[in-house]
Structure 1
Amino acid sequence: MHPAPSVILFTTLSGLGFGLLAFLGLGSPGVTGWVAFVFYAIAYALAVGGLLASTFHLGRPERAFKAFSQWRTSWLSREGICAVTALLVMGLYAIGAIFLETHWPVLGVIGAGLSLGTVFTTSMIYTQLKTIPRWHMPLTPVMFLSFALAGGALLAGQERLAVWFLLAAAVVQLAYWWQGDRAFATSGTTMSSATGLGTEGGTVRAFEPPHTGSNYLLREFVHVVGRRHAQKLRAIALILGFAVPVLFLVLPVESSLVKHLMAAFAVVSHMAGIAVSRWLFFAQAEHVVGLYYGKR
């Protein structure tokens, strides 16, 4: 698929924001007062900023509110409801931490669950699509949640947890790529099934392109990434997203200032790596409609 900057920003920023909110809801860190205000400001800026970025990919952004009414059948609607509820619950929890310097554990746990639930519902928007085999597998929500937990722990300053979550997320990312590269071939979808002609009359081949020029389907769903180019981007995503942050976190440092600077660099590096990973997530999504055009 052709990667839109809005969905890359959305999946990158919102995952980090809701991941941080989940840790704050669990009391890690158990900050109060102005320190808590800074943490919650960062979390809400990322979460809300990511959600707002997603609306730019809509044909009619002013109608986004209508998505909330389809919660029975639409993961997009469930995501919207879960996100708003999580932000409201964590907003109440933040008020207690910032202005009353107290924590309400039950409310925090509920908010943390809703925050991770939002990330899960986001992942299911893509996982449900049978027409994109690379997304239609259990590792997709696992990857989204592992990234949110790793980024959330990193932003929350939970260095020991962040190292383990980053390593786990890197393993999940590698497993996702390994299985994703085989997903289209093992899905059983072919030119015969794409055209509905079946296999009884022999092998189906494209006689000529369906169109003399480009169209919406080709522009949005038939984006091909060269194998060599993809491998380089995967290496960049792994190095920036996981290896560099882990290195910054485990290096022994005496100075408190240097330690905080390295933690900040780890966050920036992680965000850059996740953005590259998200670009690949969309760019390498082989939609089965490409078979109809002889592009797979």
Structure 2
Amino acid sequence: MHPASSVIIFTTFSGLGFGLLFWLGIGAITPTGLMALIWFAIAYLAAVGGLLASTFHLGRPERAIKAFSQWQTSWLSREGICAVATLLIMAAYGAGLVFFDTVLAPLGWLGAAGALATVFTTAMIYAQLKTVPRWRHWSTPALFLALSVGGGALLGGQVTEALVLLGLAAALQVYTWVTGDTRLARSGTDMASATGLGHIGTVRAFEPPHTGTNYLMREFIHVVGRKHAQRLRIIAVALAFVLPIIFLLVPFSHIWGALALVSHIAGVLVLRWLFFAQAEHVVGLYYGKR
């Protein structure tokens, strides 16, 4: 898949923002007054900023509102509904902290559940695609949730929880790479099934279907060299997990905490780039690109 910068930014920062809203909602962080306003501003900036970035990948962004009407069949629609509902609930919860120094616990827990639901629905947009075997697996939503809640814990200063969740996310990430690298081959989809010519005999690419590129080739075919991908994986794991964990294990200071957060975000950006670049959409088989 083409690793569009808008979708990379969306999946990275919306996950981080909703992860922070989760910790705010369950009461792990209970600021009041101005500090509450600052905490919620940070969470909303990341969550809403990420959601807005995703619209730049739409051909007709002005029609994005229509996505909300397809909630019965579309995970994208469910994501939009969950996101808006969560942001409204957490706005009411945050107002209690900012203006009344009051913790409205039921609203907070409901908003926290909504934050998790939003991240889950985002992941399911990708996990439900039969055309991308690498994504169609339980580990996709599990990893999205672990990165979101772990990143939110890091942003919210929940050191112990961040250490555990980042370690879990690192293990999940390695697992998705190890198993994901073989999912296309194990899916049973090949050039014969892609072209529908398997009943004739052995199918091989003689010439490409056409001489120029088209939309399918631009959006769904992106080939990453094995050595290049392995190098990026090492960099991503080091930035997203190893360095933040090291920074959190040293005697705490705001400088180490800031470095851990910056390193984690940089690493997740690389992870998201690889997530899309290595997607291996089966349409590539038709064009002889797999």
Task: Report the Cα distance in structure 1 between the residues aligned to 2:251 and 2:287, rounded to whole angstroms.
Answer: 55
Q: State the shift of 1:162 in Å.
A: 0.6
Task: Report the Cα distance in structure 1 between the residues aligned to 2:20 and 2:254, rounded to whole angstroms.
Answer: 18
Q: Does 1:208 align with 2:202?
A: no
Per-residue displacement from partner, 1:74-95 (whole Å, max 9, x unpaired)? Answer: 0000000000000000000000
Q: State the shift of 1:72 in Å.
A: 0.3
For structure 2, the residue ranges without an aligned partner over 5 or more in a row are: none
Q: Which position in structure 1 is the counterpart of 2:156?
A: 156
Pick the aligned partner of 1:265 from 238, 259, 263: 259
Q: Does 1:112 align with 2:112?
A: yes
Mapping for residues 1-296 of structure 1, pairs under 5 Å:
1-198=1-198, 200-253=199-252, 259-296=253-290
Task: Report the Cα distance in structure 2 between the residues aligned to 1:175 and 1:36, rounded to whole angstroms.
Answer: 38
Q: State the shift of 1:207 in Å.
A: 2.1
Task: Report the Cα distance in structure 1 between the residues aligned to 2:120 and 2:190, rounded to whole angstroms.
Answer: 30
* 2:188 partner amino acid: G
* 1:179 partner amino acid: T
Task: Report the Cα distance in structure 2 between the residues aligned to 1:247 and 1:117, rounded to whole angstroms.
Answer: 30
* 2:123 partner amino acid: S
Q: State the shift of 1:37 in Å.
A: 1.1
Task: Report the Cα distance in structure 2 between the residues aligned to 1:201 and 1:50, rounded to whole angstroms.
Answer: 48
Per-residue displacement from partner, 1:174-205 (whole Å, max 9, x unpaired)? Answer: 0111111011010000111101122x432111
Task: Report the Cα distance in structure 2 between the residues aligned to 1:187 and 1:97, rounded to whole angstroms.
Answer: 51
Mean CA deviation greater in 19-28 or 205-214: 205-214
Runs of 4 or more, structure 1, over 3 Å off, are none
Q: Which position in structure 2 is the counterpart of 1:256?
A: none
Per-residue displacement from partner, 1:112-152 (whole Å, max 9, x unpaired)? Answer: 00001000000000001100111111110001000001101
Report the RMSD for the aligned CA atoms in angstroms.
0.8
Task: Report the Cα distance in structure 1 between the residues aligned to 2:112 and 2:289, rounded to whole angstroms.
Answer: 43
Q: State the shift of 1:32 in Å.
A: 1.2
Q: State the shift of 1:261 in Å.
A: 1.1
Task: Report the Cα distance in structure 2 between the residues aligned to 1:84 and 1:277, rounded to whole angstroms.
Answer: 26
Q: State the shift of 1:252 in Å.
A: 2.3
For structure 1, the residue ranges without an aligned partner over 5 or more in a row are: 254-258
Count residues with an aligned counterpart: 290
Q: State the shift of 1:16 in Å.
A: 0.1
Q: State the shift of 1:234 in Å.
A: 0.5
Task: Report the Cα distance in structure 2 between the residues aligned to 1:172 and 1:152, rounded to whole angstroms.
Answer: 17
* 1:17 partner amino acid: G
Task: Report the Cα distance in structure 2 between the residues aligned to 1:143 and 1:187, rounded to whole angstroms.
Answer: 21
* 1:201 partner amino acid: I
SS of residue in 2 equivalent to 1:56: helix
Task: Report the Cα distance in structure 2 between the residues aligned to 1:114 and 1:249, rounded to whole angstroms.
Answer: 28
* 1:228 partner amino acid: K
Report the TM-score when normalising by structure 2: 0.99
Q: State the shift of 1:226 in Å.
A: 0.5
* 1:226 partner amino acid: G
Q: State the shift of 1:213 in Å.
A: 1.3
Task: Report the Cα distance in structure 1 between the residues aligned to 2:217 and 2:200, rounded to whole angstroms.
Answer: 28
* 1:16 partner amino acid: L
Q: State the shift of 1:38 in Å.
A: 1.1
* 1:45 partner amino acid: L
Task: Report the Cα distance in structure 2 between the residues aligned to 1:268 and 1:42, rounded to whole angstroms.
Answer: 14
